[in-house]
Amino acid sequence: MERVVETVSINGRQLEYSILGEGEPILVMHGGHSNCYEEFGYKSLLDNGFSIITPSRPGYGRTVKEIGENLASACEYYLDLLNQLGIDKLHVIGISAGGPSAIYFAAHYPQHVKTLILQSAVTKEWLTPEDLTYKLAHVIFHPRIEKTTWTLLSRINQLFPAFIFKQMFSSFSSLSYREAKKRIGTNDIEEVRKMNNRQRSGHGFLIDLKQVNELPGNELEKVLCPTLILHSAFDGSVPLEHAYYAAEKISDAKIYVLDSWGHLIWLGKSASDMNEALMEFLNNNY
C-alpha cells in the first residue's frame, strides 16, 4: 500500500493524516493504540476502488492532544481537514474506540456523510474508573510509560509471536483458545505481530477512555444516514451489546453479527464474510 502521510496546521494545532488510493473517499476513525498507519481492512477497500483518509486521532501519532478537548472539538478539526482536501461528502468508518468519533461526526455533519460503518465499535459507556482494566490501562498506557510497554511487547513478540498471540487472546475474545482455533486464520498470528509493532498509545488512549463515556445516547438517534454495524459475536474487548445498542438507536441501521473469533474482525476465517457484507453495503450506497 502506497501511503501518503502529511501533517496540517489547523488553528495553530497539528493534525496528522494519511491517504491511500484514489477512488470514492472513506474517512476512517481508527481504534485505540493506533494512528494513521492503521492497516486492518484497508486492502479490501483499496482493491474495490475506494480511497482512505485516516487522521491520527487526538494524542495519537503526530496529532496534538489539544485537538481532543472533547468529541465536538475533534470533529471540527476533521471537517477542516476534509475542507482542505476538497472533499465534500464521504463514507465514515468507526473502529473500536474510534466509534464515538465516527458517530458524533455523522450525527453533527450529516451533509458530509454518505454512510456510517461501525466495526467492533464502542457505542455507549465502556470502561469506567471502577473497572480493573481501566485502572490498569492508566498505568501501562500512561504517556510516560506507554513507549516502554509497547517496546517490550514488540521485542517479545518478535521472538515468540505465537506465545504473545495466545497471551493476548483473552483480551480480544470471549471464547477459550481451544474453542476459537477453528475460527483462527493461518496468517492471524503474523497479522497480530505486525499490529503490535505499529501500535502506540501516546496521550490518545487515555483521551479515549475519557471521551467514550461522554457520548450521549441521543447522538446515535441523530444519525440519519444508512448505517452498517459489524461486530463479532465473541468480541472480548467491546461486548456485542454495543452493536445492538447502536442498531436500536440509529433509525436506518443494519447489524451483521459475525462468527469471527473476536474483536479483530478483519482476521480469521470469517473475514471474507465481513468484507462481503461491507462491500455490498458500500456499493448499494455509492
Beta pairing class for 253-258 and 113-119: unpaired
Catalytic positions: 96
Return the SS3 of 14.
Answer: strand
Of 16, 50, 9, the C-alpha closest to 30 is: 16
Query: Among the residues of the chain, which ranges form H helices?
Result: 42-47, 71-85, 99-108, 132-140, 146-159, 161-172, 177-180, 188-198, 204-211, 217-221, 241-249, 271-284
Q: Quote the CA–CA distance of 59 and 63 in Å, as a whole number.
A: 6
CA distances from 67 to 72, 83, 284 (A): 10, 17, 34
Of 89, 95, 86, 93, the C-alpha closest to 114 is: 89
Cell of 74: 475533534
Query: Quick one: CA torsion of 199, 205, 209, 212, rounded to 10 degrees?
Result: -70
